[in-house]
A = this chain, B = another copy of it.
């Protein structure tokens, strides 16, 4: 596991002074880096940033692994009911590390492990179709909500619980594991009063920082992912990303590069893995980066309306969709490529009769092609003065993905310091939740219903 951050093409020496970063600009961030670092370490010391220590939590692993083995032995299907941080880490890690097309394989080809479904929406057609795929008797649901009141997840739970009970009767409880706050909230109350099996989410670990808790580790372990290797990768990365020096800490350095690029108007941050296995990692990162840094108020209470917009792309696929814009459009983006040195498999390109214009491909491999395309795209962007960097690593392994996740989490926390916002809250989503409660008739939200009506019904409608 040797993760390299190549930021050559974000620097002024490669792409010019206007959008490129100078060493002087990086140097100027050194005092702030020291402050933020000390602040983070002090808060970690005081137990306010427990996510830092998750990779070292043996007790957690000792609780999760036997539960996962038990579930894997008894069920054909593991279904996560969760949304946002309760779903994205699991999807990213499962697709990175499990067999491709896991759910389409025979149990034998799945290594004897259950299928894994992550249901993170409340489209009734989609949710119903997922239930139609499943045998209730062979299915266990992991109901995941930190607060224990996430309306989408609770709605799914209520429907799934009845659906299981109608099939298996009184033993329906065996088909649910509740993953939630250890003390408070609706799911915790239910776990107690109705005696559901349950797992805690460590207090102080916010939704988007839960990839190394039972939130993701229980479903992953049940599906056969080696979570101890994932945590080992994260633990090893923790050594690098807790170094105090900006130029020796890849999390701090990458945050600083992104922050400086943002200051130059490159407010869109594209994450573009060249790897089918990593395509959903960009979705996980999208939540982390957007919710943590997209803020109205600074830490000192000023109105700032700040925040880079993370965008997901996939190489080579999106070369045929987005790269035209990245190459020629406005100077508002920086692209981060992710690529393994080795794809874990390769395919030789054989000759083909009658295909004379393609002889240059013969004898080369698909792995060479995708690697060449990433380099070609990076150089073409650079030649056009477009900011880009490349994160590479030997292979997509449990260790390397664990390390990447830990790297990005620390990067985000540190970026909060640079942008001077609180990376751990998300006050902007409350209003929408309250309007939803009002529309669903929840007691106590009548005033929001009136307010909703003012905006929804009293504006002159413009419709074509």
Contacts and interface: CB of A to CB of B under 8 A. Distances in A.
A357 to B, nearest CB: 5
A463 B152 CA distance: 43
Nearest to A103: B104
Given A8-B463, A126-B100, A375-B435, A121 B324 contact: no
A447 to B, nearest CB: 14
Interface stretch (A52-60, A62-70, A283-291): A283-291
Interface in A100-148: 100-101, 103-105, 120-130, 133
Contacts of A200: none
Nearest to A131: B347
Q: Which of A88, A124, A207, A275 counts the most B-chain CB atoms under 10 A from its CB?
A: A124
Interface stretch (A32-40, A218-226, A409-417, A426-434): A426-434
A307 B295 contact: no
Interface residues of A, number: 157
A24 interface: no
A83 interface: yes
A42 interface: no
Contact of A8 (B11, B129, B460): B460
Contact of A154 (B322, B353, B361, B464): B361
B462 A6 contact: yes
Interface string A369-386: 110110111111011100
A63 to B, nearest CB: 24
A353 B194 contact: yes
Given A309-B332, A435-B380, A327 B124 contact: no
Q: Which of A330, A347, A360, A375 counts the most B-chain CB atoms under 10 A from its CB?
A: A347
Contacts of A247: 464
Given A352-B158, A462-B7, A152 B435 contact: no
Contacts of A123: 274-277, 343, 366, 370
B100 A324 contact: no
A418 interface: no
A234 B343 CA distance: 42
Nearest to A195: B354
Interface stretch (A43-51, A209-217, A313-321, A398-406): A313-321
Interface string A305-341: 1110101101111011111111111111100000000
Nearest to A455: B379
Contact of A455 (B267, B307, B382): B382
Q: Is the interface of A mostly helix, strand, loop or mixed?
A: helix
Contacts of A438: 376
Contacts of A275: 123, 125
A248 B464 contact: yes
Q: How many copies does the complex hold?
A: 2
Contact of A354 (B193, B274, B319, B377): B193
A373 B322 contact: no
A194 B343 CA distance: 33
Q: Which of A123, A367, A432 counts the most B-chain CB atoms under 10 A from its CB?
A: A123
B317 A83 contact: yes
B121 A329 contact: no
A150 B66 CA distance: 50
A415 to B, nearest CB: 13
A397 interface: no
Given A8-B461, A327-B429, A360 B159 contact: no
Contacts of A332: 267, 309
A250 to B, nearest CB: 5
A13 interface: yes
B124 A323 contact: no
Given A121-B317, A125-B275, 9 more contacts: A6-B461, A124-B347, A151-B373, A157-B352, A247-B464, A250-B464, A295-B329, A305-B329, A383-B431
14 contacts: A5-B463, A83-B320, A99-B129, A123-B366, A124-B347, A152-B369, A158-B349, A159-B350, A294-B324, A306-B330, A307-B325, A325-B428, A376-B435, A376-B438
